[in-house]
Amino acid sequence: MADEVILLDFWASMFGIRVRIALAEKGIKYEYKEQDLFNKSPLLLQMNPVHKKIPVLIHNGKSVCESSIIVQYIDEVWKDKAPLLPYDPYQRAQARFWADFIDKKMYDTSRKTWATKGEEQEAAKKEFIEVLKTLGGELGDKPFFGGDNFGYVDLCLIPYYCWFYSYETFGKFSVEAECPKFIAWVTRCLQRETVAKALPDEKKVFEFVSVLREKIRVE
């Protein structure tokens, strides 16, 4: 019986990109359905009635929501190829901790680097760099957060990279200047075809962020 896999997603969403990378790592065929977040489809509202957000994975008609949960689900169902989470329970707990840290810290902080101005923006920039430095500390000298291999934490974090150009341009700072080791890790991730193909063009993201800034009247 062939699996039917559908992904409700938005092209620029760093959360959606996580799922796309996971599906690609496992070699899963799926149907991608682009969603209009300003005019949500009945399917999206039906499949995620609680949060009404993307991404949503629909596997043989049953929906799974929340990107970290979707990625873990994918890892468990298609367990014979490209394991994303470590095998050892303690290492798994560590991976979940850092994915949770990324979920708690990256989005709100990074959003403020382009969605605010003045003192609030300056504070956000400092905090964002601090978050990257903390992650850099956890990475240490390993090639990936997963160790020798690309894994769950790498997958949760790398999608933010296509938004960095926007953060840096609107926030007037350079991640490479502040955290060169972090950019070295990014380069290693981008050498993976699954990652390179899943990340949208940063200039397209920048255009999108420019439109968002207009909408929320930042200037």
Partner 1 sequence: MSKGEVVLLDCWASPFCLRAKIALAEKGVEYEARAENLFGGKSDLLLKSNPIYKKVPVLLHDGKPMCESTIIVNYIDETWPSPPLLPSCAYERAKARFWADFIDKKVFDAVCNIWKSKGEVPETAKNEFIEILKQLEGALGEKDFFGGDSLGFVDVIAIPLTCWFYAVEKFGGFKVENECPKFSAWMNKCMQRDTVARILPDPEKVYEFVITLRNMFGIE
Residues that bind partner 1 in the complex, under the rule CB under 8 A: 50, 59, 62, 64-66, 69-70, 72-73, 76-77, 89-90, 92-94, 96-97, 100-101, 134
To 10 degrees, the CA torsion angle through 7, 211, 207, 99? -50
CB of 109 to partner 1, least distance (A): 14
Judged by CB, which is closer to partner 1: 69, or 123?
Answer: 69
Helix (H, G, I), strand (E, B) or coil at 204: helix
Is the Cα dihedral 18, 23, 26, 27 positive or negative?
negative
Q: Taking the complex as a whole, how short is the minimal distance between the CB of residue 92 and partner 1, in angstroms?
A: 7
CA distance 133 to 218: 27
Q: Which lies closer to partner 1 via its Cβ, residue 10 or residue 73?
A: 73
CB of 7 to partner 1, least distance (A): 15
CA distance linking residue 42 with residue 100, whole number of Å? 30
User: Which class for 216: exposed (0-12), middle (13-18), buried (19 or more C-beta within 10 A)?
Assistant: exposed
Q: Which residue, 62 or 217, is less far from partner 1 as judged by CB?
A: 62
In the complex with partner 1, the residue whose CB is nearer, 99 or 199, is: 99
Task: Give CA–CA dist 94/157, Å, rounded.
Answer: 15
Question: Taking the complex as a whole, how short is the minimal distance between the CB of residue 66 and partner 1, in angstroms?
Answer: 6
Residue 64 or 209 with smaller CB distance to partner 1: 64
Give the nearest distance from C-beta 91 to partner 1 in angstroms. 10
